[in-house]
């Protein structure tokens, strides 16, 4: 074998090793949520309240329904189809929204798609509240299996675990992250071993592989068949994480982990719980924990609690990432974002989101009180987000990939039907808790759309109330003011009009700097922008420069570094000689408003007042900043 062949072999081996390592890491981050669904999914599927008798045929049907929903929604839809729709390697509903919206030329179609995507993102926050609540609560409920003496302490213990989890977020996830892989490997091995043990004792359960059992189960019991789908879908909660975390682990690693570890373990466990119910219908009280030997109960409670903490951690981190993406795409006001790792830029902590989530999670645990009651609320947000993902995927494969319309309709139409049916089944529980995630999602949707529309109309107001930059510079050339040494940087979101900070500075100081830079930061609908494409720098008049800095929604803004990239264009700057002039806008609502309801004007003004500092958000040295106030009537 020659040297080239050896090097090629080494590279291939390294790639396989890297993919395998990422697949193991993905077990906790990507599959933590769906991996803990066996704690409650089978139990709720066979809940007597549905009105379906726990007969052998119905047990086979319920297990078969769970198996086939895993295969259709997770294996076919997410693993085989949706994972292909990456936005420069990144996934998630905001990445998909950017891809889909970019295909629309007509403003009305684009607005409709943006609203649909924002709705899906809003419902994701409901998932971020309910996942920690139901996962931890269902794990701690295992204590009740051993003795009823623990029953009064289940809710307080669950709340304590959740408070501790949210409290350590500020320190980053590195410590917990190191445990992700080993704990989750042990968890999935325990799922598989328990399932296999029970299957060997009752092999008749393997008949559930026949899809006709599932079809009869979901069609043969009248309205009860439709209602039970709202519980069957609990087996696929967390499937959205496969797509959302694609940028961290890659498509290959996520697929490898699913087909070789996660799917086999889940299928074995669900079949094992079904086998247990065939042998002992009384085990329905808690089929997950009853499927283990008595000596393994308390160790499994501890392992399940650790696994649900990991699943919750993944959801919480996802909420942080979603928030940062929404901020940079213009759907949420600036918030303080803390980077908890110098090595991994994706590890962030958003204090405001953290504490709001904690309050909502504790309210859900205390208000619902059990995993069964929480299950009624869970499916609505999950299926709402999944349906939006499917709809957006259609626009990507039809208009971006240019596939034939018949193929696109066939590829996504079936999944739309499945998602819509499951969502309708979940909505039947709207008065049993399903209203909770809907109200939460509606509130977040209102916030995001109010901020987006408010910013757009505020920029219109600024353009109409401020002189055009070209005319202003022409006037300065006729009657130039005195100049002082140095470089002034004026941040502006409207590059074609004169920054209000410049007007106020000239009004009060009656001088300008020798060099003046008008800096506009744009966030593109891409995850990352290469540094070679970061800045566009043009001298528009002697001593006056127009600089546009572009970031993706996964990039960390750094204005100082961006200005250093202007040197090849002739604008050489020295960070300690720069002065940044910012306009602090005070928004005042008046009767006419931003052509929206009064409550929207009030909400937008409140969010603007409480937005995080521009200085922190763009990494500008605070000791180089001059802020000049301005009053804007809405």
> Is 572 domain-assigned?
yes
pLDDT at res. 337: 83
Query: What's the average model confidence in pLDDT over 438-451?
Result: 91
pLDDT tens for each residue of 22-45: 777 777 778 888 999 999 999 999
By percentage, how much of the chain surpasses pLDDT 70?
91
pLDDT digits (tens, 9 = 90+) for 44-61: 999 998 889 999 999 999
Query: How much is the pLDDT for 430?
Result: 81
378, 507: one domain = no
407 and 323 together in one domain: yes
* 477 shares its domain with 598: yes
In total, the chain counts a number of residues equal to: 634
Helix (H, G, I), strand (E, B) or coil at 513: strand
Band (pLDDT 50/70/90 cuts) for residue 394 is very high
Residue 489 has pLDDT above 90, yes or no: yes
Q: What is the pLDDT of residue 3?
A: 42
Phi, psi at residue 140, to the nearest 5°? Answer: -70, -25
543, containing H or E segment: none
Provide the pLDDT confidence category of residue 71 given band limits of 50, 70 and 90: very high
CA distance 189 to 1: 40
Query: Which pLDDT score, from 0 to 100, does residue 590 have?
Result: 61
Tokens of 572: 């050489």
Cα diameter, the chain: 94
| Residue 566 confidence (pLDDT) | 94
459 inside domain:
no
- 5 falls within a domain: no
What is the C-alpha to C-alpha distance for residues 524 and 101, in angstroms, rounded to an integer? 12
Helical axes 263-279 vs 174-201, angle rounded to 10°: 40
pLDDT at 392 over 80: yes
Q: Judge if 76 and 171 occupy the same domain.
A: yes
pLDDT category of residue 178 using cuts at 50, 70 and 90: low
Is 8 domain-assigned? no
Same domain, 629 and 545: yes
Query: Is the same domain home to 52 and 123?
Result: yes
**Model pLDDT, residue 11:** 47
* Same-domain status, 502 and 397: no
Q: Are residues 475 and 445 in the same domain?
A: no
pLDDT at 376 over 80: no
Residue 3 maps to a domain: no
DSSP 285-302: GSHHHHTS-GGGHHHHHH
Residues 436 and 571 grouped into a single domain: no
The average pLDDT across 260-287 equals 95
Q: Give domain status of residue 476, yes or no.
A: yes
Domain-terminating residue out of 389, 419, 453 = 453
Cβ atoms of residues 139 and 301 within 8 Å: yes
Residue 7 pLDDT > 70: no
Tell whether the model's pLDDT for residue 577 goes beyond 80: yes
Domain end position, chosen among 397, 429, 453:
453
Average pLDDT for 510-531: 89
Give the pLDDT band of residue 157 (cuts 50, 70, 90). Answer: very high
pLDDT at residue 291, as a whole number: 94
Q: Is the pLDDT of residue 91 over 60?
A: yes
Judge if 149 and 287 occupy the same domain.
yes
Contact, 603 vs 580, CB < 8 A?
no
Question: Rounded mean pLDDT of 363-382?
Answer: 85
pLDDT at 341: 61
- Which residues constitute the domain of residue 629? 466-633
The pLDDT value given to residue 4: 45
- Alpha-carbon gap, residue 234 to 220, rounded angstroms: 21
CATH of the domain at 17: 1.20.1740.10
The answer as to whether 278 is a domain residue is yes
**Within its chain, how far is the Cα of 389 from the centroid?**
12
Q: Strand order in 625-633's β-sheet?
A: 535-541, 544-551, 511-523, 482-491, 578-588, 625-633
Question: With 70 as the cut, is the pLDDT of residue 173 above it?
Answer: no
Which range is most confident: 57-61, 222-226, 540-544, 598-602? 57-61
Please give the Cα distance from 253 to 282 (Å, whole number).
40
Supply the pLDDT for residue 5: 46
User: What pLDDT score was predicted for residue 355?
Assistant: 93
Total number of domains in the chain = 2
Residue 2 lies in a domain: no
Mean of pLDDT over the chain: 86
CA atoms within 13 A on the CB side of 534: 18
The CA radius of gyration of the chain, in Å to the nearest whole number, is 28
- pLDDT band of residue 603 (cuts 50, 70, 90) is confident
pLDDT at 19 over 80: no
Angle, vertex CA 305, rays to CA 302 and CA 307, nearest 5: 110
Residues 353 and 481 in one domain: no
Calculate what percentage of the chain has a pLDDT beyond 90. 38
| Mean pLDDT across 183-207 | 95
- Both tokens of residue 378? 């869970």
Strand 578-588, strand 482-491: pairing = parallel
pLDDT at 339 over 90: no
Q: Which of 402, 430, 453 corresponds to the end of one domain?
A: 453
Is a pLDDT exceeding 80 seen at residue 118? yes
Are 487 and 448 within one domain?
A: no
Range ranked top by mean pLDDT from 94-108, 145-159, 256-270: 256-270
Least confident of 265-274, 375-384, 585-594: 585-594
- Kindly indicate the confidence band of residue 171, based on its pLDDT and cuts at 50, 70 and 90: confident
pTM of the model: 0.83
């Amino acid at each position: 074998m020659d040297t080239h062949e050896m090097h090629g072999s080494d590279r291939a081996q390294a790639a396989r090793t890297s993919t395998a390592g990422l697949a193991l890491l993905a077990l906790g981050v990507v599959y933590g949520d769906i991996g803990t669904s066996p704690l409650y999914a089978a139990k709720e599927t066979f809940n007597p309240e549905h009105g379906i008798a726990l007969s052998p045929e119905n047990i086979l049907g319920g297990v078969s329904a769970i198996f086939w929903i895993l295969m259709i929604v997770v294996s076919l839809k997410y693993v085989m189809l949706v994972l292909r729709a990456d936005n420069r390697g990144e996934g998630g509903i905001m990445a998909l929204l950017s891809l889909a919206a970019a295909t629309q030329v007509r403003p009305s179609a684009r607005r409709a798609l943006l609203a649909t995507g924002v709705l899906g993102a809003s419902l994701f926050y409901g998932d971020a509240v309910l996942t920690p609540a139901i996962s931890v609560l269902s794990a701690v409920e295992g204590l009740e299996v051993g003795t009823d003496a623990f029953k009064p302490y289940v809710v307080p213990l669950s709340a304590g675990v959740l408070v501790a989890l949210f409290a350590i977020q500020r320190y980053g996830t590195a410590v917990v992250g190191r445990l992700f892989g080993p704990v989750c490997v042990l968890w999935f091995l325990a799922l598989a071993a328990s399932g296999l043990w029970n299957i060997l004792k009752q092999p008749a359960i393997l008949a559930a592989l026949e899809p006709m059992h599932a079809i009869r189960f979901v069609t043969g019991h009248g309205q009860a068949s439709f209602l039970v789908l709202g519980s069957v879908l609990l087996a696929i909660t967390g499937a959205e994480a496969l797509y959302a975390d694609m940028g961290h682990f890659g498509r290959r690693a996520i697929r490898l982990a699913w087909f070789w570890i996660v799917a086999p373990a889940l299928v074995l466990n669900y079949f094992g719980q079904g086998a247990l119910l065939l042998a002992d219908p009384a085990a329905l009280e808690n089929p997950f924990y009853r499927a283990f030997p008595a000596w393994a109960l308390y160790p499994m409670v501890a392992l399940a609690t650790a696994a649900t903490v990991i699943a919750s951690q993944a959801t919480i981190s996802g909420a942080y990432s979603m928030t940062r993406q929404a901020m940079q795409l213009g759907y949420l006001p600036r918030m303080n974002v803390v980077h908890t790792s110098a090595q991994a830029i994706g590890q962030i902590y958003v204090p405001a989101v953290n504490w709001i989530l904690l309050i909502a999670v504790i309210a859900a645990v205390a208000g619902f009180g059990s995993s069964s009651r929480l299950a009624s609320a869970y499916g609505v947000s999950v299926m709402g987000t999944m349906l939006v993902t499917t709809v957006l995927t259609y626009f990507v494969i039809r208009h971006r990939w240019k596939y034939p319309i018949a193929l696109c309709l066939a590829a996504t139409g079936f999944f739309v039907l499945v998602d819509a049916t499951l969502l309708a089944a979940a909505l039947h529980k709207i008065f049993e808790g399903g209203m909770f995630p809907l109200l939460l999602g509606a509130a977040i949707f209102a916030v995001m759309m109010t901020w987006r529309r408010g910013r757009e109309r505020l920029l219109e107001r600024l353009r109409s109330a401020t002189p055009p930059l070209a005319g202003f510079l022409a006037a300065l050339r006729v009657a130039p003011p005195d100049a002082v040494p140095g470089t002034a940087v004026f941040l502006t979101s409207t590059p074609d009009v004169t920054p209000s900070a410049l007007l106020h500075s000239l009004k009060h100081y009656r001088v300008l700097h020798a060099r003046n830079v008008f800096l506009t930061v744009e966030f593109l609908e891409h995850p990352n922008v290469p540094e070679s494409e970061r800045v566009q720098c043009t001298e528009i008049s002697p001593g006056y420069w127009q600089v546009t800095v572009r970031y993706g929604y996964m990039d960390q803004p750094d204005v100082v570094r961006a200005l250093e990239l202007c040197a090849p264009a002739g604008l050489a700057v020295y960070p300690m000689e720069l002065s940044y002039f910012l306009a602090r806008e005070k928004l005042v609502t008046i009767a006419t408003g931003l052509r929206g309801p009064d409550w929207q004007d009030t909400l937008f003004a409140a969010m603007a007042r409480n937005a995080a500092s521009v200085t922190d958000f763009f990494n500008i040295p605070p000791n180089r900043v001059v802020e000049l106030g301005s009053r804007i009537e809405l």
